[in-house]
Amino acid sequence: MTRERRYRILIGGYALSSYGTYLNMVALNLYVYAVTERAVAVGAFMAVRLAAGFVAGLVVGPVLARWSARGVMFWVNVVQAAVLVVLVTVPDGLRTATLFVVSAVGGVTGTVFVVALRGSVIPEMVAEERRTWANSLMVSWRSLAMVAGFASAGVVVSLLGYTAAFLVDMVTFLVCAVAVAQLPVSSAEPEASGETVEEDGAGREDRRRVPRALVALAAAPVLGLMVLLRAVDALGSSSHNAALPVYSTELDTDSPAVFVSVFWCVWAVGNVLVQQVIQRWTSRSGRAVGALGFGFGTIAMSAGFILAFAGLPWAATVLVGLVAGAADGLTEVSYTSHLQTLPDALRTHAFGLSATVESLGFGVGMVAVGAALEAYSPLVVVAVAHGVAIAIAVVFVAMVLRERAGAKAEKGAESPRSLLPFAQSGGHPRAQEGD
């Protein structure tokens, strides 16, 4: 069995578990309200999940440095299935407490699985020139799973009930665990520590511990700005997620779910379509999407989400949703592929830090946006949040272009074009990959 075939099986399992996760996001939120009869409990439930994901991002690097990614990914799926079994069997008096345990476990295990997949499994299983394809496949299948999960949640809960929804989710996690079990055992030795020890100017060891994720970001300022932009993008995501129900209700009081459902379906179509373009382009050109794709994609995505709240005609809004989904898919593939270029000792730590700052950005955003929507229109709130992302993305693009110009100038000084016409592309026009 080839590695890429095993990778496809893994992504199939991941997509199925993602379907269960998105199905459960709807079912669990409704169930929390049904059990507690308090809207504040729903907010607290989401806050616990975000906080757990934040903490998991801080510790996942050292965890993956000590244990194999396959083993960690297998057990996080088993644990998620187990807590759902507990939820459907626990006595009524313990149900509320169990719900919050389920929320915390979901936040931790979800973050650990994604970091292990992106930071360890993909770089180990897929050749470097195929990583953009691998990331694109992962994003497109997850997008389809999201649409299916959200679309079927109402039907499953209404016709079969909460217990059935939870058991469906449990089965998807077990299937994902089976898919993980067929992965090859990594031959790499686990790292002894998730931190580095610096030396002072005299060559003596400085016993202060420096997290490896910070070492990676300090060594590459553009990468640090990339992670910062990802955090601000998460804040922007919180704005449109919180504003969509409000805006949809303003458009149609009788059927507020119509606009939300149509927009997310169109968004997913755009996301899936751009993955097909990325996969074909990278296969033919041999180039990665590049850091510029991340910067320009963030600008297009944020602009699209702002325009979605501008009261445009339906046809224009559908086009905007397609653009936003396509740009969102482009940025995720580019971002993931770029972090995967880090050395093995730093990569999972950087992905863990990224997960932490994204959770922080989304969590802070949900609190701030919720308060802002009480005083301002959805368009204003979304425009401010995504406007900040656009501003930082412009700075990021300028930095990438400046670095490229500097690199070309250095190569031009070392190798005259008359002697080495393809010096800047490694001897062939297609040999140079994107940043």
Token readout for 78 is 């088993």
Tens place of pLDDT per residue across the chain (435 aa): 577 788 889 999 999 999 988 888 878 877 887 887 776 676 678 788 888 888 888 888 888 888 888 899 999 999 999 999 999 898 888 888 888 899 899 989 999 999 999 888 888 888 887 888 888 889 889 888 888 887 787 788 878 888 888 999 999 999 999 999 988 766 444 444 444 444 444 444 444 444 565 655 555 567 778 888 888 998 888 888 888 878 887 887 776 667 877 888 888 889 989 988 888 887 777 777 778 889 999 999 999 999 999 988 988 999 999 999 999 999 998 888 888 888 777 788 788 888 888 888 888 888 788 788 888 898 999 999 999 999 999 999 998 888 877 777 776 665 544 433 333 333 333 333 333
Q: For residue 417, what pLDDT is reported?
A: 43
Q: For residue 328, what pLDDT is reported?
A: 92
Q: For residue 214, what pLDDT is reported?
A: 60
Q: For residue 194, what pLDDT is reported?
A: 45
Overall residue count recorded for the chain in this entry = 435
- Taking alpha carbons only, the member of 231, 223, 228, 234 closest to residue 347 is 223
Q: Distance between alpha carbon 208 and the CA centroid of its chain, in Å?
A: 32
Q: For residue 218, what pLDDT is reported?
A: 57
Say how far apart CA 296 and CA 392 lie, in whole Å. 11
Domains and CATH numbers, the chain: 1-184 (1.20.1250.20), 211-435 (1.20.1250.20)
- Taking alpha carbons only, the member of 299, 288, 278 closest to residue 396 is 299
10 Å Cβ neighbour count for 271? 25
Give per-residue burial for 384-416: e unless 16+ CB within 10 Å, then b. bbbebbbebbeebbebbeeeeeeeeeeeeeeee
| Ramachandran class of 196: left when φ > 0, alpha when ψ lies in -120 to 50, beta otherwise | beta
Give per-residue burial for 57-87: e unless 16+ CB within 10 Å, then b. bbebbbbbbeebbbbbbbbbbebbbebbeeb
Q: For residue 427, what pLDDT is reported?
A: 35
Strand partners, 211: 195
Q: What angle do CA 77, 81, 84 make, to 5 degrees?
A: 145
Q: For residue 375, what pLDDT is reported?
A: 87
